[in-house]
Chains A and B, each alone.
Chain A
Amino acid sequence: ILNVEQSPQSLHVQEGDSTNFTCSFPSSNFYALHWYRWETAKSPEALFVMTLNGDEKKKGRISATLNTKEGYSYLYIKGSQPEDSATYLCACFMNYGGSQGNLIFGKGTKLSVKP
């Protein structure tokens, strides 16, 4: 079973709080981990692509880490702002069943930041 799990399902924080959430995936047959941000009524927007164990990426106040051996990635938001409110999706690129490989998405973590 090729499951990508995200936790928590939803998160409510106050403006200025820092927060983090988790993406877990099968560590075997791993190629890459993608993070997306999806604001309501907008297109999902790519944040990071990570491939190497121990990789860390940063974009402004948002950063992500990757552990391919144990099969998880963390996304961190420092000093959350109301405009960070969105659903954060992670997707694992997997090659399975003879296919060329595709992105397998988690259900997402819905973040709400209150002013």
Chain B
Amino acid sequence: SAVISQKPSRDICQRGTSLTIQCQVDSQVTMMFWYRQQPGQSLTLIATANQGSEATYESGFVIDKFPISRPNLTFSTLTVSNMSPEDSSIYLCSVEVERTPTALYQETQYFGPGTRLLVL
């Protein structure tokens, strides 16, 4: 398993500003992901954070809006840029400790407690 912390736990921001969310894991992990949950919606994958290279973004999400860093195997950041009220969501970091290429669909993801963001 893995223990994941996120900072900040919550924030209220003005539109047009940016917020960087940090995700720290207590051990080295293979995979790190960023999700968001907008009010009343499903948890949705934003991107996979790749160590030492550019993140892999899902359809509908772009690097200019959600730049991601992953400098090592235990830490990642997600920035929500030029925020608007539509960005108000819970943002979660998750990890897979290891990934077996032939059975990656069975890997358990461990989640952080989330960052609750309200944009005014």
Question: CB within 8 Å of B: which residues of A?
Answer: 4, 31-32, 34, 36, 41-46, 49, 51, 89, 91, 93, 95, 97, 100-108
Contact = CB atoms under 8 A, between A and B. Distances in A.
B113 interface: yes
Interface string B77-120: 00000000000000010000000000011101111111000000
Interface in B1-46: 4, 40-45
Contacts, number: 49
Nearest to A6: B42
Given A32-B105, A44-B92, A93-B105, A102 B45 contact: yes
B58 interface: yes
B112 A107 contact: no
B59 to A, nearest CB: 8
Contacts of A49: 106, 108
Contacts of A107: 40-42
A102 B58 CA distance: 10
A103 B45 contact: yes
A113 B105 CA distance: 32
Contacts of A105: 42-44
A46 B58 contact: no
Contact of A43 (B43, B59, B106, B114): B114
B24 to A, nearest CB: 13
Which one of A46, A91, A102, A107 has the greatest number of beta carbons of chain B within 10 Å? Answer: A102
A34 B43 CA distance: 13
Given A43-B92, A43-B111, A102-B58, 13 more contacts: A4-B42, A36-B111, A43-B4, A45-B111, A51-B106, A91-B43, A95-B105, A97-B59, A101-B104, A101-B105, A104-B42, A105-B44, A106-B42
B113 A46 contact: no
B45 A46 contact: no
